[in-house]
Amino acid sequence: MPLLPKFARSLRTLAGGLFAGALALSAGPAAAVEIQYWQYVFDTRVQAMTEVIKAFEAENPGITVKQVTFPYADYQTRLIAARAAGRSPEVMQLFYGWLDTFIAGKLVQPLSPEVFKAAEIESEFFPIVTAMKRNGQYYGLPTAVRTMALFYNKDLFKKAGLDPEKPPQTLDEMVAAAKAMTVRDGAGNYQQVGMALDIARQDHNWWREILVRQFGGESYSADGSKVAYDSEAGRKALTFYTSFQKVHKVGQESFMDEGQAAFRAGLAGMVVDGTFRIASYKTIKTFTWGVTELPSQDGKRANFGSYFANAIGASATGEKLAAAEKFLAYVSSPKAMTIWLEKVGELPARRRVALTEENIKDPIYGPFIRALDYAATPPMTDELAQRQVSIDMINSVLLKDTPVADAVKAAAEREQAVLDKAKGK
């Protein structure tokens, strides 16, 4: 049997080689610590983080940070699969609404109270940072916060005889402006919409977190455990939202496939979107656009403040943990926030960095920053499932003519079940 011993010998050689390789690898970290940072793919965010990492590495020669990115749709799955495989990143980005899932799954660890002092965090950051706090412990810090506003196409305003420097301030004015800008052909097909509708992206948030409150209701109970929008206000808000398409006929879901695509193409007068869209819209060359605070109803303004935070992976220990803490502190520093604002357009999470004279007066950032004053950040337990409930509710009114009251009631029951399930865990 000449074959087998030869095979065994080559196996031994291979194993020896691997061992030597492993030795060489383990010799490395003594000189430099490498930590991984994970976030999802969004061009401007990745570019901004690359720049932050470069600056961090220059200031901390002993640490290298490897940025790993995944498509948004896969991102959570990758994190959870990595946790199951024992290969979690040291620092990761997560939506504030995922925190409960991540704590339950032991993906993240609480921040050391010595390094990240709660009192300091609360005095420096905007109050919505407390959404990262559980049982008195912080689990992560945001670099940037996001609010929503109304983007509008100044050229289309002018063409429709509206004053491009006086965007709508109330919901009624908004509908009137949308009507003025809508163009339909002889067959009734939209050639241009007054209002770009996009349920799956931001409109579900606009309805649930903003319109409901503007019409005098609440989205959730104060402790976040009960759905509160099955009310007169919830029904009024849904009637208002769906009337864009059903009554006023100033827009249509899926026109140009996506709301932001319609706006970019110059075929939509207005669109509700978040700070994260600014960088992308800044590349528009074919028309001028502006931003204004979301229109009010009965004098009431509301907004939805949310954010992606950075947290430390549960498995990080020793020198990797120390490096991760240093890096987290750096990405939450004023310096990183300034880079983030420039590159991504998201608002700095520290008051002092955000609320500068220059930012407040900025025609683009101003409306978003002013909204931070009255923005609410409701606790979310299962963002994906909650989002789906709102999408289905709006679709059932638009596509199946379900009465608004029934649609709101069904959605409230479904979402309550989602909240209860998360609580039971």
Residue ranges binding other proteins (CB under 8 A): 1, 73-74, 76-77, 80-81, 83-84, 104-107, 185, 187-191, 198-201, 252-258, 267, 382, 384-385, 388, 391-392, 395-396, 399-400
293 in helix, strand or coil?
coil
DSSP string, 91-149: EEEEEGGGHHHHHHTT-EEPPPTTTS-HHHHHHHB-GGGGGGEETTEE--EESEEB-EE
- Looking at 143-251, list the stretches that DSSP marks H as alpha helix, in order from N- to C-terminal side: 154-159, 171-181, 204-205, 212-214, 232-246
**Nearest Cα to 124, choosing from 141, 148, 137, 107?**
141
The tokens of 425 are what?
């865990």
Question: In this complex, which beta carbon is closest to other proteins, that of residue 150 or of residue 267?
Answer: 267
Shortest Cβ 83–other proteins spacing (Å):
7
Question: In this complex, which beta carbon is closest to other proteins, that of residue 1 or of residue 119?
Answer: 1
Shortest Cβ 372–other proteins spacing (Å):
28
Question: In this complex, which beta carbon is closest to other proteins, that of residue 261 or of residue 355?
Answer: 261
Question: In this complex, which beta carbon is closest to other proteins, that of residue 55 or of residue 261?
Answer: 261
Task: Identify the residue whose tokens are 């490395």.
Answer: 28
Shortest Cβ 153–other proteins spacing (Å):
17
Amino acid at 307: Y
**Nearest Cα to 140, choosing from 313, 383, 304, 275?**
313
Question: In this complex, which beta carbon is closest to other proteins, that of residue 121 or of residue 199?
Answer: 199
Question: In this complex, which beta carbon is closest to other proteins, that of residue 118 or of residue 261?
Answer: 261
Which positions ≥6 away from 267 have C-beta within 8 Å?
Answer: 191, 192, 193, 255, 256
Shortest Cβ 270–other proteins spacing (Å):
19
Shortest Cβ 97–other proteins spacing (Å):
14
Question: In this complex, which beta carbon is closest to other proteins, that of residue 228 or of residue 250?
Answer: 250
Shortest Cβ 77–other proteins spacing (Å):
5
The DSSP code for 254 is: T
CA distances (Å), 121 to each of 111, 115, 130, 353, 417, in order? 12, 11, 9, 14, 34
Shortest Cβ 119–other proteins spacing (Å):
32
Phi then psi dihedrals of residue 288, to 5 deg: -100, 145
Question: Which residues sit opposite 268 in a β-bridge?
Answer: 193
Question: In this complex, which beta carbon is closest to other proteins, that of residue 238 or of residue 375?
Answer: 238
CA distances (Å), 224 to each of 131, 182, 413, in order? 11, 39, 15
How far is residue 301's CA from residue 296's CA, in Å, rounded to a whole number? 5
C-beta separation of 323 from 35 below 8 A: yes
Shortest Cβ 223–other proteins spacing (Å):
24
**Nearest Cα to 132, choosing from 152, 116, 150, 153?**
116
Angle of helix 404-424 relative to helix 232-246, nearest 10 degrees, comes to: 120
**Nearest Cα to 140, choosing from 78, 189, 94?**
94
Shortest Cβ 182–other proteins spacing (Å):
13
Question: In this complex, which beta carbon is closest to other proteins, that of residue 370 or of residue 414?
Answer: 414
